[in-house]
Structure 1
């Protein structure tokens, strides 16, 4: 079963084309890594998948439903805000710089979506939050505010917040890049656990060792285009394109 289908996605900011005919699929339970140099379009693509950015052409679907649009008489038209929000709720997003609510505790950050978007009771949402924070190794930190937590702890709260929505697919945008090496290990361990559970994930990252360990498939982007894609074990060790070889040599050398 295909969880994510993106076909011919094009996105520009003014005269700058950021995504150029990007086509990607992610199957149920599959972990796909987006790699490439900074500015390749990895983060923009994730934001388009989550409808934080609109595409100029092409389309994206999650679980067979278009993201941000509906088809009417063979044409695409933007979804009403309520329906767009409903569909976005099925797509978990973990930001590079956490984006936690600064005025809320860890527990309430995680409980916010289930309560306000899914309509769960406060007690149920907080119970779910405490369970997820425990899974993230954050028991005892549930009443701490973001400024009282380390970067690694904040990122684990952000992952718990995304999981609290029971997403169909989890998008992670450079989840370890803003962290010191010791804190990176904390977050990488959580991602490894999600991978062992076969959580469907699309992860944009420069963390090649993590990609090698968890990814089923790798997509290599340069200047908004897919240069090469394939099984992680083959692409990371036997890349078929000179640009891929040069990038991996820089990242692992």
Structure 2
């Protein structure tokens, strides 16, 4: 079963073309890693999948439903805000720099979406949030505000927040890159735990050891295009293209 289908996605900012005919699929329970140099378009692609950025052409669907649009006889019409938000709720997003609500505790950050979007009661949402924070190794930190948490703890709260919406797929945008090495290990271990639970994920990262540990498939991007993709074990250790080999040599040398 295909969870995410992106076909011929094009995105530009003025004269700058950022995504050029990008096609990616992610199956149910599959973990796909996007790798490539900075500026390759990885983060922009994730933002398009979550409808934080509108595509210029092509289409993206999650669970068979278009993201951000509906098909009117071959013409893609933007969805009303309410319907767009409903569809976006099925897509978890973990940002590089956490993006937590600074005025809310860890528990309230995680409970907000289930309460406001999924319609859970305050008690139900809180119970769910506490269980997820415990899963993230943050039991006892539920009343702490983001400024009282380390970067690794904040990122684990952000992962709990994404999981609280029971998404079909989780997008992770460089989830370990803003962290010190010790904190990176904390977050990487949580992501490994998600992988063991067969959570469907699309992750943009420069963390090649993490990719090697968890990814089923790897997509290598340069200048907004997919240069090469394939099973992680094959692409990481025996890539076909010179650009892929050169990139991996820089990242692992």
With the shorter chain as reference, the TM-score category is over 0.9
> Which residue pairs with 1:28 in the alignment?
28
Q: Normalization by structure 2: what TM-score? A: 1.00
Counterparts of residues 83-94 of structure 1 (less than 5 Å): 83-94=83-94
For the pair 1:203 / 2:203, whether they are aligned, the reply is yes
Question: What 5-or-longer segments of structure 2 have no aligned partner?
Answer: none
Counterparts of residues 93-112 of structure 1 (less than 5 Å): 93-112=93-112
For the pair 1:185 / 2:201, whether they are aligned, the reply is no
Q: How far has the Cα of 1:74 moved from its partner?
A: 2.1
CA–CA distance in structure 2, aligned partners of residues 73 and 192 of structure 1: 42
CA–CA distance in structure 2, aligned partners of residues 74 and 110 of structure 1: 38
Q: How far has the Cα of 1:73 moved from its partner?
A: 2.1
Q: How many residues align?
A: 253
Question: What 5-or-longer segments of structure 1 have no aligned partner?
Answer: none
CA–CA distance in structure 2, aligned partners of residues 12 and 74 of structure 1: 22
Counterparts of residues 66-215 of structure 1 (less than 5 Å): 66-215=66-215
CA–CA distance in structure 2, aligned partners of residues 76 and 10 of structure 1: 14
SS of alignment partner, residue 176 of structure 1: coil
CA–CA distance in structure 1, aligned partners of residues 153 and 74 of structure 2: 47
RMSD: 0.3
CA–CA distance in structure 2, aligned partners of residues 77 and 230 of structure 1: 33
Aligned structure 1 segments of 4 or more residues deviating by more than 3 angstroms:
none
Q: Normalization by structure 1: what TM-score? A: 1.00
Write the deviation string for residues 127-169 of structure 1: whole angstroms up to 9, x where unpaired: 0000000000000100000000000000000000000000000
